[in-house]
Chains A and B, each alone.
Chain A
Amino acid sequence: MENNNKDSEVSVDVIFQLRLYIAGQSPNSIKAFENLIMICDEHLKGRYDVEIIDLIQNPSLAKEDQILAIPTLVRKLPEPLRKIIGNLSNKERVLDGLNLKSRNSCK
């Protein structure tokens, strides 16, 4: 978890570049989007950028970005790349996946 701490220190004033991969308007995709916006507004207000990618419209991206599960949230920046799959219903796990949890708990 050493890496975790370093990671979070660096991330204080970087912009989070996030991508949410979905496949059409499935209930899980909608839920994931809602959950994501909620979490980001709470923890990353003003320093995040979410891009929604619908694989049904851009199927080739499934291969390029190695996406199997839908929905998948990818943290492109800051490095390293992280993936969180599922409808993001568990907030703690999402924060953990984005490496935001430790900083949060420091506060």
Chain B
Amino acid sequence: MNAEPDKNHSITPLLKTLSGIKGLDDITYGGLPKERPTLVCGGAGTGKTLFGLEFLVRGAVHFNEPGVCLSFEESEIELTKNVASLGFDLEKLKDEKKLIIDQIIIEKNEIEETGEYNLDGLFIRIGLSIDSIGAKRVLIDTMESLFSSFNNEFILRSEIRRLFRWLKKKGVTAVITAEPGEKTFTRYGLEEYISDCVIMLDNQVTEQVATRRLRIVKYRGSKHGTNEYPFLIGKDGISIFPITSVGLEYEVSSEKISSGVPRLDALLGGQGYYRESSILISGTAGTGKSSLAAYFAAETAKRGEKTLYLAFEESQSQIIRNMRSIGLDLEQWVKKGLLEFKIVRPTSYNLELHLAIMYEAIREFKPKSVIIDPLSSLLPISNQLQVRLMIMRIIDFLKMNHITTFLTNLVHSSGSSLEETEIAISSLIDTWLLVKVIELNGECNRLMYILKSRGMAHSNQVREFIITDEGIDLVDVYIGPGVVLTGAARINQEAEDKVASLVCQHDIERKKRELERKRQELEMQIYVMRSQYTAEEEELNLSIQDQGTILSKREKMAQYRKADRTS
């Protein structure tokens, strides 16, 4: 129905008035239709009156547009009291002539009807209020009370129609509240008369937890977000969370920030996470998710940046104590005001209040990083879809505020649910680390790997994730033929390898020595043989000499005897 063509649209673009209600002006792309009535319908307790009053208060305070509140139900005192807790000081605005609250009391039993009449009295009354402070905004809460006050519906309807026309002519932007009907948006079909903008509020209770929602049913001549937006009534009024409809228009940073664990930074392409990205660590119980979160917090603090730690399961002192046991002193950062814990029991509030608390805490503390530990604690308080929407809103909100989001998620050890729970939010996560416990040879060891990391060349290697009293570290796992070994098995295997190599080395050395001995033996033998040889040679020479001597002696003897030469 929002696609209804508006012929005038192209000629005179619809003018809008900023409502000043947080988030509403985003999803309406600029506020409510200027100088026209807007119908806000919703059942009892959905926040209609507050919506209208905030519209007036914001107008008076921020846009210098005084407002008139016509209340058919609550008295001025009641209204003033009710919204005082939200920081709206109606008394002050009244004194400053920026607000008039006019309670219309109709005592049905005092009234008799006879013949024709009109509601000029009401017109004069509103007119006087508008003129006396130059009001630009009007709230009528709840118009439908008129139907129970007057019997002649025919007159009433034509008077209401006349009233809306008259309000337009007066140039005021009006919010008209109404109760929803069974088949129509409002019980008495007021939407027939207000064709420009219709907003529905409701308060759904699922599993004992209420969530307020707002939906723009129609906005003639304007684009608008069509989703049901959860909203909250927090310390300072209504906050509607505009989500992805607003678009992924935030600037992204390409700066990297350390995870606090050098080996992890290395896995993530060298320098860690992207600033202002969303990081999810998921794993079963006891896998060191919180430790990683704490390291990240400490690292952020070392850079002099603030971290907000939203914990759902442990108290501040417990977290600090636990981290001290692994060699991390978080207390110093708390003292320096660089780390703030916000401990909330998941079941103490509904989703909307959780959002409000986070929103509030973030606004006050202005952190650079936010840790939510663990996200899964929120699951039981609502259904998955709502949690997903909420997480989407948180992440979008944080990204738009340039905050790095660090989430942990507890998954159950049965493999299937691990994917299921996370499929819902995986698309919102930029860097997703998975810590798994594997059981082998009677021990459990942690394995970590990067499931995804957008926009960075990250390692595909599985690392063993070790927590000692000196901190956390990642080590290479033993990758043997067809097996990946961790923990004691890894150490065992490494030892075995060492022994094997030692044995081998010994063997070589032994062989070396043997060879040496053989060489020495050989050399000895050679020496002996050579000695023998030399001895024999010498003997021979001696013999030759002897023989020479004998011969020469014989010749001499023959000369002496002058013997015939026989030869």
Contacts and interface: CB of A to CB of B under 8 A. Distances in A.
Interface of A: 21, 23, 26, 28, 31-32, 35, 55-56, 59-60, 62-63, 66-72, 80-90, 93-94, 96-97
Contacts of A93: 112-114
Nearest to B118: A70
B128 A68 contact: no
11 contacts: A23-B124, A35-B115, A59-B124, A62-B122, A70-B118, A70-B119, A70-B120, A83-B111, A83-B112, A88-B115, A97-B114
B120 A55 contact: yes
User: Which of B115, B146, B150: most chain A Cβ within 10 A?
Assistant: B115
Contact of B114 (A21, A56, A88): A88
Contacts of A63: 102, 125, 128-129
Contacts of A68: 104, 106, 119, 121-122, 125, 146, 149
Contacts, number: 101
Contacts of B111: 83-85
A95 B69 CA distance: 36
A86 B127 CA distance: 22
Contact of A31 (B106, B110, B115, B125): B115
A59 B150 CA distance: 22
Interface of B: 102, 104-107, 110-122, 124-125, 127-129, 146, 149-150
Given A83-B107, A88-B115, A93-B113, 14 more contacts: A26-B120, A28-B116, A28-B117, A62-B122, A63-B102, A63-B128, A67-B125, A68-B104, A68-B122, A70-B118, A72-B121, A82-B110, A84-B111, A94-B112
B110 A87 contact: no
Contacts of A21: 121
Nearest to A64: B125
A87 B117 contact: yes
Contacts of B112: 82-85, 93-94, 96-97
B117 A70 contact: yes
A32 B124 CA distance: 19
A21 B121 CA distance: 9
Contact of B124 (A35, A62, A71, A87): A62
Contact of A80 (B110, B116, B146): B110
A87 B106 CA distance: 19
Nearest to B146: A68
A90 B115 contact: yes
B118 A59 contact: no
Nearest to B112: A97
Contacts of B128: 59-60, 62-63
Contacts of A82: 110, 112
Contacts of A69: 117-122, 150
User: Which of B113, B117, B127: most chain A Cβ within 10 A?
Assistant: B117
B176 to A, nearest CB: 16
Given A60-B128, A63-B102, A63-B128, A23 B121 contact: yes
Contact of B115 (A55, A62, A67, A86): A86
A70 B115 contact: no
B117 A55 contact: no
Given A56-B124, A62-B124, A86 B113 contact: yes
Contacts of B124: 23, 55-56, 59, 62
A29 B113 CA distance: 14
A66 B115 contact: no
Contacts of A67: 121, 125
A71 B116 CA distance: 9
Across the A-B interface, the 7 shortest Cβ-Cβ residue pairs = A97-B112, A89-B115, A86-B115, A87-B115, A70-B120, A93-B114, A67-B121
Contacts of A59: 124-125, 127-128
B114 A90 contact: yes
Contacts of B120: 23, 26, 55, 69-70
A72 B122 CA distance: 12
Nearest to A65: B121
Contacts of A32: 115
A67 B107 CA distance: 11
Contacts of A97: 112, 114
A86 to B, nearest CB: 4
